[in-house]
Structure 1
Amino acid sequence: MSKSKSDVPKRADGQIRQSQMISMYGPGAMVDLVDRAVVIGGLEHWSYGSEGYRRLDEPRLRRSLVPRLKALDPNLDLAAEGYFRLAPACDARDPSPKVGVRALEFPRWFVCQGCRRLARAADAFETKNNRYRHQCERNRWAHAVPVRFVAACRRGHLTDFPWIPFAHEEKACDRPELYLREGATGDVARIIVECRNCGSSRPLSQATVLPFPCNGDRPWLGGKATNETCDQQLKLMVRTASDAYFAQVVTALRLPEPDPDPLLLKLREKDVWDILQHVTSLDQLRTFAVIPRIASAIEGVSLDKVLATVEAERSAERGKVERPLRTAEYERLTHAPEEVLGVLAPQGVEFAAFEIPDARADLPRGVSRLVVVPELREVRVQISFSRFAALSADLQGEYDFSRARVRPAVLTLPTGNEKWLPAAEVRGEGIFFELDLDAVLAWEEHDAVRERADALLRAFQADGQGGEFPGIRFYLLHSLSHLLLTAISLECGYAASSIRERIYCEAALSNDRKGMAGVLLSTGTTGAEGTLGGLVEEGRRLRHHLREAWELGRLCSNDPVCAAHNPVAEGSDRRLEGAACHGCLYVAESSCERFNRFLDRALVVPTIGNDPALAFFRERP
């Protein structure tokens, strides 16, 4: 029996993976469909249907994000539970408006592919078979497509390009009839906006700086009611340009809490702790010990131990300070138990790390620790987005919006009911290595390294992008990470683009507080299957891969130009890196935390034309 046309399920115009909904295609991102273009709706437009959402809660990450969201907008907050959620999963074979993410048509201006008529879709075009079309001259019909130019501001606001006032400048026109003429090359200078009614015309190259203020349009949140005040100027933007959307994503490894003391669990019960938290002496404790619920909680335990446990917990509460995200992870990695041959991580654990003993690690000078991480889970959460320029996170991988010159755009109405953020969880494996902190401190004191650090700082300040200078130690770790990532990918079975770096860097505060200097290279997938173990096994051969990385960094195909690059030179177009380019250090942006910035291989290995004293590894490991 043949199916009628209405029975055939409608095919989707495209597909987006759930993990991409927190990076490339989050709320506010512009997406091209087959016949139209849309902007992904805010969290109010995400629907999970009757099955509900999948929680990806991570308390440590929540505690870090709440004050940062408050700095973005005082009304933003996260719920007590269900505050991180996986994007809704849709069935392309059975689409339903009750499940999925609603996308709103944007831009609203279209251009005819036949006569190049430029107008709002509702004003000059009609719909047929779910596509806009236009009746050109001599009764010819042609399809209309979304115009590829829009207007936006640095705060992320988005609106249709003001075509009519731009084409006419200050002239009056009672019946605008616009056409968009493009040259064969697509050069902006050859794109002309003209009005056939009054004869006005203007090249689009004059729109690089628009004289129009931003009205605070946020089409991903809804209509004009969602607009906000804005002090920025509108700028011309190409919808598909790489600077149209930058997601601010914060990540954290799942670190299971250590098993609590059974006695403390009993004492922390509300009815018990409300009384015992005020006990300061054994006499007071003996008085309260006759209360049935207290007696039951401390049964079989000496009063001295009970008092000591109460005092320890009370002191911990008074002095409790939330550890920064990466500091807590670094401490867990550097205090991992020693690996025992033949003993595997328990099945189903969220995090397992083992330090390779010195006898088996075979570490070169300058490297103090090697840790394999056969099981790890990473939670990635999008908190906002920006346009035209990416925001830099600090060394902890966190964003300080209170100090940002221009605050990014939000994913939901701050005064609304959506107190959650979109997230994804990655399951995978990794290797962690720590540099010898004493060796790093000695290296930082070299005159050549200090001069290089001063030059990179001056170049960073001249670049004028704002943020904090990461420091010379970060340049070292970041450059070493890229070299090692490339070397390992050649043998581990994973493509370099599927290996991701995580830099643990903190400057020394004193001789006793030497900071952090470590790198975690990991690979993972958002699927439930996890990974295959190739990266962990290759990590055990760290010395071999460091030697390969050393050879890769010694000579670049663009030397001596690359090695001699001076970021402080007048006219330099790469002020955020030293000896670094596509021929040596640049990797896929999915692998790099900093968009291939803050790199200098001369700080890792000796390079042509540079002082060998700059290199942390002067000799082959």
Structure 2
Amino acid sequence: MPRNDLGEVRRSAAVATFGPGAVVDFRADRATVSAVAAGLEEWDRNFPPSGMVNEQTIREERLEKKLNKRGFRLPPVRDPLKENDEKALVAVRFPTWLQCPQCDRIGRQDMWADEPGRAGRFCPECTRKAPGRKEVYVVPVRFVTACEAGHLDEFPWHMWVDHDAGCTNTKGFLKLVSEQAGLAGLILSCAKCGARKSMDGIFSTRETSRMPACRGLRPWLSVPAETCTHRPRAAQRGASNLYFPVIESALSIPPWSDRLKEAIGMAWELIVGVLPEDRPRQIEILSKTVLAAVLNELEMTPEQFRVEVERRIAAEASIDTENLRLEEYRQFTGGTYVRGIDREFEIRPQAVPDGLKPLLSRLVKATRLREVRAMTGFTRIHPPGDSIAPVAQLSASPLEWLPAVEVRGEGIFIELDSEALADWENRPAVIARASRINDRWIAEWITRHGSEQRPERVITARFLLIHTFAHALMRQLTLDCGYSSTALRERLYVQTGANAMAGLLIYTATTDDDGTLGGLQRQGDPERIDRTVRAAIASQEWCSSDPLCIEDMLSREEDLSLAACHSCVLAPETSCEEFNRFLDRALLIGRPGAPETGYFGSLLRDAPR
């Protein structure tokens, strides 16, 4: 076994849940090892060649231009055809404080015994007492600290126990014993001075203010600590708020969905890197060498290829980097079939069922889709979603590429009727509910960033409606077509003003073959989608938590949703673009005493009883 080999993670997880800077738990032999995934420089060092010359790359022109990158790299994998291939990504042990499960002592990693070639550490005293002297492996401690700027550090154990004056054990072993249930029964103590303190209140604001200043540590990067003004907070090692990946994504749409640029590979840089007047000569030279096989496969002459290259260069110059989704929305609402044998984007417009025409204006089956998801950084404590949230870096210095994965699948696109939507948006009860959530959003922003600023984003009734409708559809589609709840994902197209959008795409979000089985897009047939939409709305009429849920009694004043809970509209966080925020099923069905708040209320009134 290679030295300190920890285990494996799925390729897609390396650009999301377990990306650079994430704390990952591994099982190495019989030992539990917790480590933080190292930065992108390790991808280059362990899987050469570096940069975009690497063979494990993908392209998506629109996303590249928006993020100002030359391309994207897939999470590297070992070559299965090479024996004894010891290439691997790097992870750094974190936390370095470990606990013996038998004697309950906790201490730094260098205070425990180890064996060469093994990642686990063990307690020498308990091992000597064990039958057959079988190693008693220590486990990572439960608590760490993190700050809003993305820094990660050990929990200040010695500060927390508050040693008696004159205690000489300010750097040695402590004991963490669970004497009864809850944090109040978890006691930290020092055997030297007898100091004892429970872990109760470890997550409270009052105790956070007593924490030492953030040291600016980034253990996933080989760089010195940086100055930080944020106050660190205690968190459980596996807490969900310890790592939020910041993902930018784009669908491959015409003219970029034919994958011409990806087929050309690195030769594209040789073509666009010369002056326009020199391109014909450059293409002629390359067509006899590195491009010969590509042109033969594409059945194109050098002149046809040159014309296509010039068209692509002109198209890239016109990409709207501020709003990639507007171009996708126009493709879906164009009203024509888009298909081709080499394309990654194929749609088939369908007739909207008569019973849904007053509410929906367009229905499109997406029989073939390709999405590229690039990770640009991550946040801690708070999820991303506002323009000034601190985003932690994935590498010590900016690189010409970002990590990404590509997903191929299928989906259903639905557009709401613009006239019906405009009438609904102007109802006083609807405006009042949307204002409540938007006011909470502003209050949260002020709490995090200060009263001198206001968020640019406005939470509108249109957005709340379409987002909640997407969740209701996903829940119903998992029943109708057999996909798991984590296999579906929403993509929202919502905007007001000159380039108004009011649509949503439900598509397969898995990176395996399940995303192309055809079960989802088949539900886009008019007669099937009619049943699905009606069933989705009917399922929202009653929640097992009602009447508390529909009366907003389950939501706290600081929550960013109203009538929404796990029994009705909440979805897996991998399926939701907004981390299950900004939801209100009352905008779908209405609420007691105010049925006009429900956009789809007519479907309930017309349903047979």
**Which TM-score applies when normalising by structure 1?**
0.77
Match of 1:20 among 3, 13, 26: 13
Match of 1:90 among 78, 88, 94: 78
Structure 1, 178-187 or 477-486: larger mean CA deviation: 178-187
Distance 1:61 1:361, change over 3 A: farther
SS of match in other structure, 1:519: strand
Q: Does 2:210 match 1:221? A: no
How far, CA to CA, are the matches of 1:192 and 1:92 in structure 2?
49
Q: Does 2:544 match 1:557? A: yes
How far, CA to CA, are the matches of 2:376 and 2:314 in structure 1?
34
Instruction: State the number of aligned residues.
Output: 531
Structure 1, 429-438 or 466-475: larger mean CA deviation: 466-475
Which amino acid letter does the alignment assign opposite residue 125 of structure 1?
Answer: A
Map 1:180-219; keep pairs closer than 5 Å: 180-183=175-178, 185=180, 187-205=182-200, 207-208=202-203, 209=208, 210-219=210-219
Matched with 1:271 is 277
How far, CA to CA, are the matches of 1:156 and 1:92 in structure 2?
35
Distance 1:186 1:144, change over 3 A: farther
Match of 2:22 among 22, 29, 34: 29
Which amino acid letter does the alignment assign opposite residue 39 of structure 1?
Answer: V
Q: Does 2:605 match 1:611? A: no
Match of 2:409 among 428, 435, 455: 428
- The answer (yes or no) to whether the contact 1:114–1:136 under 8 Å persists in 2 is no
How far, CA to CA, are the matches of 2:226 and 2:385 in structure 1?
24
- The answer (yes or no) to whether the contact 2:35–2:93 under 8 Å persists in 1 is yes
- The answer (yes or no) to whether the contact 2:573–2:579 under 8 Å persists in 1 is yes
- The answer (yes or no) to whether the contact 2:257–2:345 under 8 Å persists in 1 is no
How much identity, in percent, do the aligned residues show?
A: 33
Q: Deviations over 1:483-507 (max 9, x none)?
A: 1222222222322321111110002
How far, CA to CA, are the matches of 2:180 and 2:354 in structure 1?
57
Matched with 1:385 is 378
Matched with 2:232 is 234
Match of 2:474 among 453, 475, 485: 485
Q: Deviations over 1:356-385 (max 9, x none)?
A: 246x78743110111111111000111111
Distance 1:486 1:314, change over 3 A: closer
Which amino acid letter does the alignment assign opposite residue 439 of structure 1?
Answer: A
How far, CA to CA, are the matches of 2:510 and 2:413 in structure 1?
18
TM-fit CA distance, 1:53? 3.7
Matched with 1:523 is 508
Matched with 2:560 is 576
Which amino acid letter does the alignment assign opposite residue 526 of structure 1?
Answer: T
Distance 1:575 1:524, change over 3 A: closer
How far, CA to CA, are the matches of 1:150 and 1:172 in structure 2?
27
Match of 2:433 among 441, 452, 457: 452
Structure 1, 21-30 or 448-457: larger mean CA deviation: 448-457
Q: Deviations over 1:209-268 (max 9, x none)?
A: 14301111111012xx432111112221211112121111111101132799xxxx9xx9
TM-fit CA distance, 1:514? 6.2
- The answer (yes or no) to whether the contact 2:113–2:123 under 8 Å persists in 1 is yes
Matched with 1:300 is none
Which amino acid letter does the alignment assign opposite residue 59 of structure 2?
Answer: D
- The answer (yes or no) to whether the contact 1:525–1:531 under 8 Å persists in 2 is no
Distance 1:172 1:457, change over 3 A: same
Distance 1:11 1:217, change over 3 A: closer
- The answer (yes or no) to whether the contact 2:152–2:218 under 8 Å persists in 1 is yes
Match of 2:347 among 353, 362, 369: 353
Task: Give RMSD over aligned pairs.
Answer: 3.5
SS of match in other structure, 1:454: helix
How far, CA to CA, are the matches of 2:81 and 2:313 in structure 1?
57
Match of 1:542 among 510, 520, 529: 529
Which amino acid letter does the alignment assign opposite residue 55 of structure 1?
Answer: T
Map 1:137-176; keep pairs closer than 5 Å: 140=129, 142-168=136-162, 171-176=165-170
TM-fit CA distance, 1:579? 1.6
TM-fit CA distance, 1:463? 4.3
Q: Deviations over 1:42-91 (max 9, x none)?
A: 1011232579442112121122223xxxxxxxxxxx3x3xx311001136
- The answer (yes or no) to whether the contact 1:500–1:591 under 8 Å persists in 2 is yes
SS of match in other structure, 1:619: helix
Which amino acid letter does the alignment assign opposite residue 390 of structure 1?
Answer: P
Which amino acid letter does the alignment assign opposite residue 136 of structure 1?
Answer: E
TM-fit CA distance, 1:539? 0.9
Match of 1:588 among 572, 576, 592: 572
Q: Deviations over 1:297-335 (max 9, x none)?
A: 9xxxxxxxxxxxx9x999999998545111111111111
How far, CA to CA, are the matches of 2:250 and 2:65 in structure 1?
12
Map 1:63-78; keep pairs closer than 5 Å: 63-66=65-68, 78=69
Match of 2:58 among 56, 59, 69: 56
How far, CA to CA, are the matches of 1:178 and 1:584 in structure 2?
48
Q: Deviations over 1:527-577 (max 9, x none)?
A: 47851111111111222211111211111122211111158x8xx266211
Structure 1, 573-582 or 36-45: larger mean CA deviation: 573-582
Matched with 1:331 is 330
SS of match in other structure, 1:101: coil
How far, CA to CA, are the matches of 2:82 and 2:539 in structure 1?
51
TM-fit CA distance, 1:203? 2.4
Q: Does 2:42 match 1:45? A: yes
Q: Does 2:90 match 1:102? A: yes
How far, CA to CA, are the matches of 1:479 and 1:195 in structure 2?
52
Distance 1:92 1:149, change over 3 A: farther
- Which sections of structure 2, spanning at least 5 residues, go unmatched? 131-135, 259-270, 281-302, 304-309, 449-454
How far, CA to CA, are the matches of 1:318 and 1:349 in structure 2?
21
Which amino acid letter does the alignment assign opposite residue 384 of structure 1?
Answer: G
How far, CA to CA, are the matches of 1:444 and 1:619 in structure 2?
16
- The answer (yes or no) to whether the contact 2:72–2:374 under 8 Å persists in 1 is yes
Distance 1:22 1:315, change over 3 A: closer
Distance 1:168 1:517, change over 3 A: same
Match of 2:103 among 115, 140, 143: 115
Structure exhibiting the larger radius of gyration computed from Cα positions:
1
SS of match in other structure, 1:488: helix
TM-fit CA distance, 1:112? 1.8
How far, CA to CA, are the matches of 2:251 and 2:243 in structure 1?
25
Q: Deviations over 1:502-536 (max 9, x none)?
A: 110002x2xxx361100101014424785111111
How far, CA to CA, are the matches of 1:57 and 1:192 in structure 2?
53
Which amino acid letter does the alignment assign opposite residue 37 of structure 1?
Answer: S
How far, CA to CA, are the matches of 1:33 and 1:95 in structure 2?
24
